């Protein structure tokens, strides 16, 4: 199905520390939006990769807001380049997401805001729900997992700490490229990114996009590792409001969830904190990027149905 809806509008968030965060907005062609959907993209990609999904939602009455994280997309221009960030970058990105959501709510008073996060963005979304979940009307987690395989280990921390000690926070790390390479092991090798989708054209587009697949700096890698521990701390998990509706959508062949094991663990976490409205769906045979999969029309329709029920 081709993209529908209106083209995006580009803007910026001027963060307190001087970083210029690139933002993108898609609005319905006619009438007042029924709700706001904010997208937090994944690692080593950018927000405009969600253009097709955003146009689809806009065509069905939703206003969509997305942004390039620090060290990603157009935002990287003000932060030292792709994968390069300043101190405590993870907390700064969470603050950016809240400020961008606040801007959207100010432009559309009274509309509910649903936060959609994919992969690394799903971890940012969980962190956001811990920090300001009472401001959200829903949480959608795509390509998600309890903890990224290999990220939360002592070996991972020691690896990136050594890199920082030897070359500084801004030096590019081998950690993320090695992690991504390991995810491709079960699949046919071509670009090295076959783990993302069964759709060869989508994989080729990712591999050809200079804004995708880049390494993280050692500083951003370490901030991410530490953030995973923060997010999975039961005391922080318990801060997510039990009344916040949560939906999880994943592919069964996504190497990030280790044959669904890490999805089941995440579901148990939400059940443990008493989440009252918890739903999930797995797509048989789909890999990591379900919005760029061969069955993406089914995924989009399912997510739209969830949104329609909850706003």
With bands split at pLDDT 50, 70 and 90, how would you rate the model's confidence at 31?
confident
Pick the CATH number of 9-148+228-310 from 3.20.20.10, 2.120.10.30, 3.40.50.1820, 3.40.50.150: 3.40.50.1820
What pLDDT, on the 0 to 100 scale, is given for residue 161? 94
Bin 103: left if φ > 0, else alpha if -120 < ψ < 50, else beta. alpha
Question: 133 falls in which pLDDT band (50, 70, 90)?
Answer: very high
CA distance 179 to 85: 20
CB atoms within 10 A of CB 304: 17
Query: What is the mean pLDDT of the segment spanning 57-79?
Result: 96
Pairing relationship of beta strands 9-14 and 20-26 according to DSSP bridges? antiparallel
Match 């903890």 to its residue by tokens.
Answer: 147
Average pLDDT taken over every residue of the chain: 95
């Amino acid at each position: 199905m081709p993209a529908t809806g209106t083209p995006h509008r580009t803007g910026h968030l001027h963060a307190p520390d001087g970083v210029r965060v690139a933002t993108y907005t898609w609005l319905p062609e006619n009438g007042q939006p029924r709700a706001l959907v904010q997208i937090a993209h994944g690692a080593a990609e950018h927000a405009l990769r969600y253009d097709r999904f955003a146009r689809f939602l806009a065509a069905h009455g939703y206003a969509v807001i997305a942004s390039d994280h620090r060290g990603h997309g157009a935002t990287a221009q003000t932060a030292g380049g792709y994968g390069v960030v300043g101190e405590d970058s993870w907390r700064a990105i969470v603050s950016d997401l809240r400020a961008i959501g606040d801007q959207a709510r100010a432009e559309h008073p009274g509309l509910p805001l649903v936060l959609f996060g994919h992969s690394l963005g799903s971890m940012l979304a969980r962190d956001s729900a811990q920090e300001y979940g009472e401001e959200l009307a829903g949480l959608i987690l795509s390509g998600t997992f309890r903890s990224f395989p290999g990220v939360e280990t002592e070996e991972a921390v020691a690896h990136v700490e050594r890199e920082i000690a030897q070359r500084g926070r801004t030096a590019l790390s081998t950690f993320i490229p090695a992690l991504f390479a390991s995810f491709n092991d079960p699949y046919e090798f071509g670009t090295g990114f076959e783990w993302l989708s069964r759709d060869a054209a989508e994989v080729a587009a990712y591999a050809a996009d200079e804004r995708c697949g880049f390494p993280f700096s050692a500083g951003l890698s370490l901030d991410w590792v530490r953030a995973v521990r923060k997010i999975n701390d039961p005391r922080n998990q318990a801060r997510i409001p039990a009344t916040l509706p949560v939906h999880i959508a994943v592919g069964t062949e996504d190497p990030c969830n280790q044959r669904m094991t890490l999805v089941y663990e995440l579901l148990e976490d939400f059940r443990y904190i008493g989440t009252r409205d918890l739903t999930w769906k797995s797509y048989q045979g789909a890999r990591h990027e379900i919005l760029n999969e061969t069955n993406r029309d089914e995924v989009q329709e399912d997510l739209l149905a969830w949104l329609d029920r909850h706003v």
